[in-house]
C-alpha cells in the first residue's frame, strides 16, 4: 500500500471569494476511499487567507504582510473546521500541521516533524498541512505550497505526490498535455500559463516541486484537481495527468535530497583543482583541498562547495568554520591533535554535486 500526498491550491479551494465546502467534501470522499483501500493519505492545503477574508471582510483588499498574517491567523482555524466537518462524514479525524522553512532546513526539526507524522500514522489521524503564514517572514517563508508539498513528501517518505491544478497536466507548446516529463533530458517547451489570482504559485512552481519529489524517489504527478478520480486511475496503473520521471541518473536518497533541495547552507568552502578532481571521482573533501572559508557555521551544518567562482554542490561539514580556517590547506599530518577529529572535512557520502553547472 502507498503513502499519498495530495496538494490543493487556492485556485481549486476558493469559489466566489470563499472556501468551497462542497469541493472539500469531495476531497474527503477521495481520501476516505484511499484509506479504505489501505493507503495512507496526507493533504497539503492552501486557503487560510481566503477563509479569513470572509470573517474579516475589511481586510480583503489589504496586501501588507501584517494584514495577511492576521487573515491567516483568523482563517486557519476556520479552514481546519471545514476540513474536520468534511472528514467527520466518514468518521475520520484530521490533524493540523503548520510548518515554516526552518522545520525542513533544520535537520533536527526535520527529524522531529517526521516523528510527529509517525505518531499521527499510528493513531490513524490524517495530516492537513499548510505553511504557518501567521509567523512566516521572508527569512523562513517557503513561499508556495507546491514547494512545501515536495519537502513534506520527502520528510514523510511518501510514495506518491499529486499536485492538483486547474488543467489536465503540463501543457506543451502544441497545446497538448505531456504524458511524461523527463527530468534530466532536454526540457520541453511549454505553453505559457499564468498563475491564478488566488494562488501564490503557477505551473512553474508545480514543475519545480514535482522535480524535487521525483528525484527523491517520490512518484510525482501534476493532474487536474477537478478530476480527482485521476488519483485512483494512476494507482491502478493507468495514465492520467503528467508523470515526472528521472532520466539518466539515479534517484537521491532521502538524506541526499535533504542536502540538495531542503537544507539551508550556513557558509561556503572554496576548493582547489586537486579537490575538484577528487570530488568528481566521488571521493571526500580533505582539508588540504580547501583554499578559503566564508561564513560562520558549526559541525554538522550544510555548506556550499565553490570551485572557480561557481557553486558545484553542497555538503555536511565535519568541522566548524573556525576549525576549518585553522586546518585549510593542510595535510592530516600537519593538523594539531587538539583540532584533528576526522580525515575528511566533508565525507563523500555527505556531498551532493551539481557538476553540470561547471564548465
- Name the binding residues for substrate: 46, 133, 145
CA distance 135 to 170: 33
User: Which distant-in-sequence residues (6+ apart) come within 8 Å of 47 by Cβ?
Assistant: 8, 10, 13, 14, 19, 75, 79, 130
Fill in the DSSP letter of residue 188: P
Tell me if residue 161 falls in helix, strand or coil. strand
CA distance 348 to 115: 27
Q: Per the annotation, where are the binding residues?
A: 7, 46, 133, 145, 200-206
User: Which distant-in-sequence residues (6+ apart) come within 8 Å of 185 by Cβ?
Assistant: 247, 248
Instruction: Give the angle 144-356-297 at the CA atoms, nearest 5°.
Output: 65
CA distance 284 to 71: 49
Strands (DSSP E) contained in 186-266 are 219-224, 242-246
Q: Per the annotation, where are the binding residues for ATP?
A: 7, 200-206
Helical residues (DSSP H) of 157-253, grouped into ranges: 203-215, 229-235
User: Which distant-in-sequence residues (6+ apart) come within 8 Å of 118 by Cβ?
Assistant: none
CA distance 263 to 240: 32
CA distance 132 to 130: 6
Give the number of C-alpha atoms closer than 13 A to the C-alpha of residue 134, restricted to the C-beta side: 12
Fill in the DSSP letter of residue 346: B
- Asked whether 40 and 194 are in contact (CB, 8 A), the reply is no
Report the Cα 296 to chain-centroid distance in Å: 26
Amino acid at each position: 500500500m502507498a503513502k499519498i500526498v495530495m496538494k490543493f491550491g487556492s485556485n481549486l479551494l476558493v469559489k466566489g471569494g470563499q472556501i468551497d465546502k462542497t469541493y472539500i467534501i469531495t476531497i474527503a470522499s477521495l481520501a476516505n476511499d484511499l484509506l479504505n483501500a489501505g493507503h495512507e493519505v496526507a493533504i497539503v492545503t492552501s486557503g487560510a487567507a481566503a477563509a479569513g477574508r470572509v470573517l474579516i471582510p475589511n481586510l480583503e483588499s489589504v496586501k501588507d504582510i501584517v494584514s495577511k498574517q492576521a487573515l491567516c491567523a483568523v482563517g486557519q482555524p476556520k479552514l481546519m473546521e471545514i476540513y474536520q466537518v468534511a472528514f467527520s462524514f466518514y468518521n475520520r479525524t484530521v490533524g493540523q500541521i503548520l510548518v515554516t522553512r526552518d522545520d525542513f532546513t533544520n535537520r533536527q526539526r526535520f527529524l522531529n516533524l517526521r516523528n510527529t507524522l509517525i505518531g499521527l500514522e499510528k493513531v490513524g489521524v490524517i495530516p492537513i498541512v499548510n505553511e504557518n503564514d501567521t509567523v512566516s517572514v521572508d527569512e523562513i517563508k517557503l513561499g508556495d505550497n507546491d514547494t512545501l508539498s515536495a519537502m513534506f513528501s520527502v520528510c514523510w517518505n511518501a510514495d506518491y505526490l499529486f499536485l492538483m491544478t486547474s488543467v489536465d497536466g503540463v501543457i506543451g507548446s502544441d497545446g497538448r498535455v505531456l504524458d511524461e516529463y523527463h527530468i534530466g533530458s532536454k526540457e520541453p517547451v511549454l505553453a505559457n500559463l499564468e498563475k491564478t489570482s488566488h494562488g501564490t504559485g503557477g505551473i512553474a512552481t508545480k514543475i519545480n516541486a514535482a522535480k524535487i519529489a521525483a528525484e527523491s524517489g517520490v512518484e510525482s504527478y501534476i493532474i487536474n484537481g477537478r478530476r480527482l478520480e485521476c488519483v485512483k486511475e494512476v494507482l491502478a496503473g493507468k495514465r492520467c495527468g503528467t508523470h515526472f520521471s528521472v532520466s539518466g541518473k539515479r534517484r537521491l536518497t532521502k538524506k541526499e535530497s535533504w542536502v540538495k533541495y531542503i537544507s539551508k547552507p550556513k557558509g561556503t568552502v572554496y576548493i582547489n583543482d586537486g579537490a575538484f578532481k577528487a570530488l568528481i571521482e566521488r571521493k571526500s573533501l580533505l582539508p588540504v583541498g580547501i583554499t578559503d572559508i566564508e561564513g560562520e557555521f558549526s559541525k554538522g551544518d550544510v555548506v556550499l562547495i565553490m570551485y572557480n567562482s561557481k557553486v558545484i554542490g553542497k555538503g555536511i561539514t565535519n568541522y566548524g568554520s573556525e576549525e576549518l580556517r585553522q586546518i585549510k590547506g593542510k595535510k592530516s599530518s600537519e593538523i594539531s591533535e587538539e583540532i584533528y577529529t576526522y580525515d575528511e572535512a566533508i565525507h563523500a557520502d555527505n556531498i551532493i554535486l551539481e557538476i553540470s553547472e561547471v564548465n
